[in-house]
Amino acid sequence: MPPQPRTQPKEAETDPALKPRALSSKGRRIAAEYLQRILTARVYDVARETPLEPARALSRRIGNHVLLKREDQQPVFSFKLRGAYNKMARLDAEALARGVICASAGNHAQGVALAARRLGSRAVVVMPVTTPKLKVDAVHALGGEVVLHGDSYSDAYAHALERQAREGLTFVHPFDDPDVIAGQGTVAMEILRQHQGPLDAVFVAIGGGGLASGVAAYVKALRPEVRVIGVQTVDSDAMIRSVRGGKRVTLGDVGLFADGTAVKQVGSETYRVVRELVDDFIAVDTDAACAAIKDVFLDTRSVLEPSGALAVAAIKQYAETHKLKGCTFVAVTSGANMNFDRLRFVAERAEVGEHREALFAITVPEERGSFKRFCELIGPRSVTEFNYRISDERVAHLFVGLSISRRDEAERIARHFARHGFESVNLTDDELAKEHVRHMVGGRSELAQDERLFRFEFPERPGALMRFLAAMHPGWNISLFHYRNQGADSGRVLVGLQVPAADGREFAGFLRSLAYPFVEETDNPVYRLFLR
């Protein structure tokens, strides 16, 4: 059963993490001002009221009641439609006849294109060249005229302003406009109507700040005891830096993995609203976002885009940091325009983000039996990755991934290896190792004499590798080993073995005795070009 929400609010004095900030008189005025705008916003000609769904598996795992506000289920798979339509529906007939222009990383672009089609207006959409093709194609399909320019939203924005002035179009800002903010605020209006019981906090992703401004304004106007927590990525945290620095800042570069929130500078109006009304901020990293995408998939069988999963990642981080249990949290799942090509990266990084995988560089003596001794030391723990190539006569360097259940296990495992004579380096938080080096372990080796190369299929169960090692003749040396858990029933393993020609018959018997499917690749031209 999922954790039950509290029937009475937790006393703020006993849990400072749940205590809302005191609103200033300025903050109260802003909330009241936007309340009227949100209540009269025109969004439902094209947008739909999205469900507020429990994330049951995630709730059980973290011991808090997590609700997902499913804005990924909008017609354009993002909340952005609300603000875009509310802005455009208020334009006069002359402005609509001239047409509109916007700059967007993708989701706002689709909202503007759909709104323009509904209102019979021309829509020019300037998008960064880094925008996923999925979003570009979606804008084309909705009738928008796409112009690709620059590497970030800010670059696209500057170009859109030039075209606006030149062509007499009306600019539809993705976040820094009161009508756009009010349209996004209808998300909070639905949340408070759909859930009228105890609610500790609403978590919302921040790019330029339009959604967070609208949500915070409505929540603080009606239920000021509920915390609103803004979420950004660690490499695109312009709002966090601006609020904490007391003025808007411009980032030199922004991370593009969560492209929907990759904004170098937040809006002046959104900054004014957010700094007065948002209670707290959290920055999450790429691994946490990937893990959150997996969490939502396991609960809903839906795939969010990275920006759409930031609020879920923040709930997990917030609950863990403050050791919170029994709370009720809402995450606005703000978008699902995910490029299919990114799924492999997401799946790979999710295990680290969920603290289910630790990565190590292990140094072992380059001698017969040391590889087997190391594997015995791993014991029943599941191996997620194993990369090795013979390169030195004295020591061997292994790149190893192991299953863990909590982040602090990684250091304990490293100490365990050291006590048994295997020097190790914990690479779990090393970006170079995770993104590049794990794919580069290998190459040619002058030491790989008499090497034969095989692809094996091992059953994905503890002990399969040890059975392989135990059956192998002690005179044969493993000179190459590559394995990565792919979540299938069988694992695909590449093994290089140094087998003297005189042992050919005995080696053939060894292969038959394993009963593991295999293919010899010793004559494969790829092997000879890059590894031999």
Q: Which of 80, 294, 316, 434 is catalytic?
A: 80
Q: Cα(426)–Cα(508) distance, rounded to whole angstroms?
A: 38
Active-site annotation holds for 80: yes
Q: Which of 469, 475, 484 is nearest to 514 (CA)?
A: 469
Q: CA-CA distance, 371 to 435, in Å (whole number)?
A: 25
What are the DSSP E strand ranges found in 226-305?
227-233, 280-284
Handedness of CA 100, 103, 104, 105 (dihedral sign): positive
* Distance of alpha carbon 477 from alpha carbon 470, whole angstroms: 13
Sign of the alpha-carbon torsion through 505, 510, 511, 512: positive
Cβ 100 vs Cβ 169: under 8 Å: yes
115: CB partners within 8 A, 6+ apart: 46, 81, 84, 85, 88, 89, 121, 123
Task: Tell me how far apart the alpha carbons of residues 372 and 463 are, in angstroms, rounded to a whole number.
Answer: 12
Q: What is the rounded distance in angstroms from the CA atom of residue 212 to the CA atom of residue 209?
A: 5
**From 334, 391, 424, 479, active-site residue:** 334
Sorted by sequence, the CB contacts under 8 Å of residue 88 that are 6+ apart come out as 96, 100, 112, 115, 116, 119, 121, 172
Measured over the CA atoms of residue 118, residue 120, residue 126 and residue 131, the dihedral's sign is positive
Separation between Cα atoms, residue 207 and residue 184, nearest integer Å: 13
Q: Alpha-carbon distance 90 to 186, whole Å?
A: 16
d(CA 31, CA 362): 56
Q: What is the rounded distance in angstroms from the CA atom of residue 527 to the CA atom of residue 532? A: 6
| Residue 334 a catalytic site member | yes
Token pair recorded at residue 483? 């394995």
The residues carrying an active-site annotation are 80, 334
